[in-house]
């Protein structure tokens, strides 16, 4: 037990720091006082005792290109084979346990999901899948103190100081408008909050008070579910349009055309690429390549696929959300059919 404790201390390497002595922080506090009429003594008290976590700083440290020896590269190739990236990714994000939990999460919050889907037009299984990928339906929302981490990332040297300074400003504004103690909020190492892991700027832009208690609380299922749906809707979700479909191509590995969510094609120009099932989508498509151990899996991504990437700028992320949503919907339908047959 003692060894575990020592290891955790080394891992997090945290110690308190008084940031009020730094000129940048003094300017930052003055800005908050001027723009939001926050009390200077209150802010100085907040910034005078900040626990500095080194883990986030290591993650966002400036990137340095390191030249590897042939032996180092060979070892990396053994540890991280060239192929199979999607196999590893989907094993973590789309497994039977997460599908089962997703069904239970929707059933538990049935009235909320029904009302949210009616209002925003985003299918419940996609909202649930995003929350499932982000926090395993609220079971892993993060244990880092958001204020301390944002201060650390805003004012200690790293490659995203400007971004985190903006997030810290938004977070403190939220603490003022939503009336919470910024020292008490826990989240991810980067300051993401709640079931949907909203950054403070997104919290303010897309957060919804769906339970009508006068506060936007993304740790609550009602507000979190509605806020995720609102985020997706405002980024362009098209009701009753598809997300993605798998396509066939010649060979086991796909080369020659640029893949990813940023590049679009007219389907008429994609000779030799055919949907594996009927697909009536008329818009431009993206080619999404999933790198598997034995072959590349290729998909068409529609506009709604691109919309999901606005939540997290990754084709693998959007595909994980899509496939998890499809599996959740399928399991729910199978359970419904079973109940009908039994009755």
What sign results for the dihedral spanned by CA atoms 308, 310, 312, 316? positive
Place of tokens 């003094």: 26
Distance CA 55, CA 133 (A): 22
Tell me the angle at which helices 124-135 and 110-120 cross, rounded to the nearest 10 degrees.
120
Distance CA 26, CA 36 (A): 15
Here the tokens at position 294 are 């034995």
Number of helices and strands in the chain (H, E): 15, 8
- Running DSSP on this structure, what letter comes out for residue 248? E
| 70 CB-contact burial (10 Å; exposed 0-12 / middle 13-18 / buried 19+) | exposed
What sign results for the dihedral spanned by CA atoms 59, 65, 67, 73? positive
Q: What angle do CA 202, 306, 280 make, to 5 degrees?
A: 140
Q: What angle do CA 202, 205, 210 make, to 5 degrees?
A: 100
Place of tokens 């080619």: 287
Q: Which of 125, 134, 156, 221 is catalytic?
A: 134
E strands, 159-285, in order = 186-187, 244-248, 274-275
What is the chain's Cα-based Rg?
Answer: 23
Distance CA 313, CA 84 (A): 20
**Active-site residue, 134 included:** yes
Give per-residue burial for 167-199: e unless 16+ CB within 10 Å, then b. bbbbbbbbbeebeeebeebebbbbbbbbbbbbb
- Residues catalogued as catalytic: 134
């Amino acid at each position: 037990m003692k060894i575990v404790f020592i290891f955790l201390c080394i891992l997090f390497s945290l110690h308190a720091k008084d940031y009020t002595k730094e000129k940048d922080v003094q300017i930052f506090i003055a800005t908050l006082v001027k723009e939001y009429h926050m009390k200077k003594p209150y802010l100085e008290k907040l910034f005078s005792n900040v626990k500095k976590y080194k883990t986030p700083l290591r993650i966002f440290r400036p990137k340095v290109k390191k030249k590897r020896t042939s032996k180092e590269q060979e070892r990396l190739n053994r540890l991280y084979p060239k192929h199979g990236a999607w196999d590893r990714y989907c094993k973590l994000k789309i497994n039977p346990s997460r599908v089962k939990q997703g069904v239970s999460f929707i059933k538990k919050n049935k009235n909320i999901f029904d009302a949210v889907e009616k209002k925003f037009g985003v299918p419940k299984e996609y909202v649930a899948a995003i929350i499932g990928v982000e926090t395993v339906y609220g079971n892993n929302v993060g244990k880092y103190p958001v204020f301390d981490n944002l201060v650390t990332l805003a004012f200690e040297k790293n490659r995203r100081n400007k971004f985190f300074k903006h997030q810290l400003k938004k977070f403190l504004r939220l603490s003022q408008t939503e009336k919470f103690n910024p020292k008490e909020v826990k989240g991810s190492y980067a300051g993401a909050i709640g079931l949907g892991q909203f950054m403070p700027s997104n919290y303010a832009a897309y957060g919804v008070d769906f339970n009508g208690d006068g506060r936007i609380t993304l740790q609550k299922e009602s507000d979190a579910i509605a806020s995720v749906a609102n985020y997706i809707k405002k980024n362009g979700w098209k009701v009753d349009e598809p997300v993605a479909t798998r396509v066939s191509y010649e060979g086991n590995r796909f080369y020659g055309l640029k893949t990813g969510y940023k590049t679009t094609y007219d389907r008429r120009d994609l000779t030799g690429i055919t949907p594996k099932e009927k697909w009536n989508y008329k818009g431009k498509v993206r080619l999404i390549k999933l790198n598997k151990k034995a072959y590349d899996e290729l998909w068409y991504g529609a506009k709604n696929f691109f919309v999901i990437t606005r939540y997290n700028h990754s084709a693998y992320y959007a595909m994980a959300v899509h496939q998890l949503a499809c599996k959740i919907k399928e399991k729910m339908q199978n359970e419904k059919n079973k109940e009908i047959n039994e009755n």
